[in-house]
Structure 1
Amino acid sequence: MLFYINTAYIKINNSLGNNQLIAEFDKVLDVFFSYKNLIIDLTETPGGGNSTVARAIMGRFTDQQHPYQTHEFNEKKYETLRHWTEYVSPRKEIYKGNVYILVGRWTGSMGEGIAIGFDGMKKARIIGTRMAGLLGAISNFQMAETKIGFQFPTERLYHIDGTPWESFTPGILTQNMEETFQRAREIK
């Protein structure tokens, strides 16, 4: 992909569940501090991830604590809803240039969380199509007799403005990936 000389590019390929990504991301980001613009490409992150990696990445772009997502858990047995907000804290040296996050249909789970978190913190412009639209955080279960594992959503997740994850629309909405990358190439 061709970008202007003042724009750096980081592509994350389906590794948001690998805590080793944190050190790799830090190493790459530290090289890009002289660039005016940074593009983080999350268009190929369908496999989920964890919030430790997400908070570590986002923590390099804020100098103060920020909320980035709200959880809702239905305690059906007691007819109560439990809500809590998760925060990002600053870590290491903070990148202060312009940040753009690329998303698409294959941006799922924690990829969605990072994009929505950056948007909620007002630390990046989100460019792309609608994302995977997952319905919340999943939990893993296993059948007792067969040991076959399965997953399903157990928590609703929201943008800090109250928008459900699955309803979030990028600020720069595109129709397809070709248009997404064209919009990214226009960053100067």
Structure 2
Amino acid sequence: MFLALASAFAITQALEDAAPLSALQQDVEQVCALVPEHYAYFESRAAHWDAACDLARAEAAQSEGAYVLAVLEGLIDALYDTHINLNTNNQTSPWLIPSGSQIRVAEQADGQVVVTDVRTGSRAEGLDIRPGDALRTINGQAPMEAALRRMRTGDTDLPARRDWALNAAVTGYRHEARRLQLERDGEVFEATLGGFPARRTGTPVSYRMHAPGVGLIRINNSLGRDETVAAFNAALAELGDIDTLILDLRDTPGGGNTSVAEPILGRFVQTRTAYQRIEPTDAPAWIRHVGPVAPYADVALTVRVGGWTGSMGEGMAIGLDAMGRADVMGRPMAGLAGGTEGFHLSGGDLMLWMPTYNLAHLDGTPRHEWVPPARED
């Protein structure tokens, strides 16, 4: 009995003597607990989560009470998911993908890394970087060597993780320019990417006549702005009596809200119509519908998508395809998985945003895996 009491006393004394957790340490512990409980795709990332948390704990303990945002940024990097982010950043933070990226790259079967897409209005486009260019180095390092900077723990051979890390490396950090060496048709050239990733457009939408009887409306990364609905309706009215509309969703990397997207989708249906499948982790799947919004846009519809068609833009594209209302064409979309929810972290004022449920085409294809039926080169 005496030994048991002595042992209990020692444990109690150790707990009392332990230094209280810093705000950063509290947030690390909370993220390490929240992700397994709420992250919709945790099962596929679970193998190296404990190691990532142990590394973050060690880094947080070494911060001597300072709030080092990079510790949490490195921790969520372990999930290699571009749809997970914090609600703040600083000058040393990584650019988010796709909103902060200028090019997309992919590793080929032979190990070569090539450019697959270039953002319209970006410095990369101005420097004449093109799809098909081979990426030789990033800041003097081989692309995969640079990618290892973001893959700090766990299996570096997972294709999905390698793809994420390559694109993270070429997207870079806010305070660093990326010196790229590329090759095209045997000719080697260099390009430096830095600063804000693309031109900012003040108006929610842009529109013009593309050809006789063919109008074009481009959404300018504004699917989260309430005024976009009125701007879209005004553009459609201004285009007048057209036979065909091209809806350009290639500049929607910031995602958006159903309260903006659905009134736009509603212009293209005459009855309440299913457009997307919602798949919670803890409840049966259900189907999301959109209702008609007058006046009906009686036009043939083509939707253009690409690497900067993100989140709500992706939802609109798969929805219009599922409804049989549009021909969707372009390059693979941003691949932002699932629908996100925000979680306040207790140690400071941060919020962690992560996917908590899956989203899918009506045919069951996960939204982040769906590709446009028609390729646009």
Indicate whether the TM-score tops 0.5. Answer: yes
Find out whether 1:23 has 2:237 as its counterpart. Answer: no
- Structure 1, gaps ≥5 residues long: 76-80, 180-188
DSSP-derived class of the 1:57 partner: helix
DSSP-derived class of the 1:3 partner: strand
The higher radius of gyration belongs to: 2
DSSP-derived class of the 2:234 partner: helix
DSSP-derived class of the 1:44 partner: coil
Contact 2:209 2:215 in 1 (8 A): no
C-alpha distance in 1 between matches for 2:370 and 2:239: 29
> 1:32, CA displacement in angstroms?
2.7
Find out whether 1:113 has 2:320 as its counterpart. Answer: no
Find out whether 1:89 has 2:291 as its counterpart. Answer: yes
C-alpha distance in 1 between matches for 2:292 and 2:236: 15
Amino acid at match of 2:223: L
Counterpart position of 1:125:
327
C-alpha distance in 2 between matches for 1:32 and 1:92: 16
Q: Find the partner of 2:367 among 137, 162, 165.
A: 165
Counterpart position of 1:74:
281
Counterpart position of 2:220:
13
C-alpha distance in 2 between matches for 1:88 and 1:32: 24
Write 1 or 2 for the structure with the bigger share of helix.
2
C-alpha distance in 1 between matches for 2:222 and 2:318: 18
1:43-62 counterparts in 2 under 5 A? Answer: 43-62=250-269
C-alpha distance in 1 between matches for 2:239 and 2:364: 33
- The TM-score normalised by the length of structure 2 is 0.44
Contact 1:16 1:110 in 2 (8 A): yes
DSSP-derived class of the 2:365 partner: coil
Amino acid at match of 1:119: D
Write 1 or 2 for the structure with the bigger share of strand.
1
DSSP-derived class of the 2:334 partner: coil
- Structure 2, gaps ≥5 residues long: 1-207
C-alpha distance in 1 between matches for 2:274 and 2:219: 23
Dislocated runs of 4+, deviation >4 Å = none
> 1:85, CA displacement in angstroms?
0.9
Contact 1:33 1:95 in 2 (8 A): no
Q: Larger relative contact order (C-alpha < 8 A, sep ≥ 6)?
A: 1
DSSP-derived class of the 2:241 partner: coil
- The TM-score normalised by the length of structure 1 is 0.86
> 1:38, CA displacement in angstroms?
0.4
DSSP-derived class of the 2:211 partner: coil
Q: CA RMSD in A?
A: 1.4
Contact 2:209 2:216 in 1 (8 A): no
Question: Identity of paired residues, percent?
Answer: 38
Contact 2:256 2:311 in 1 (8 A): yes
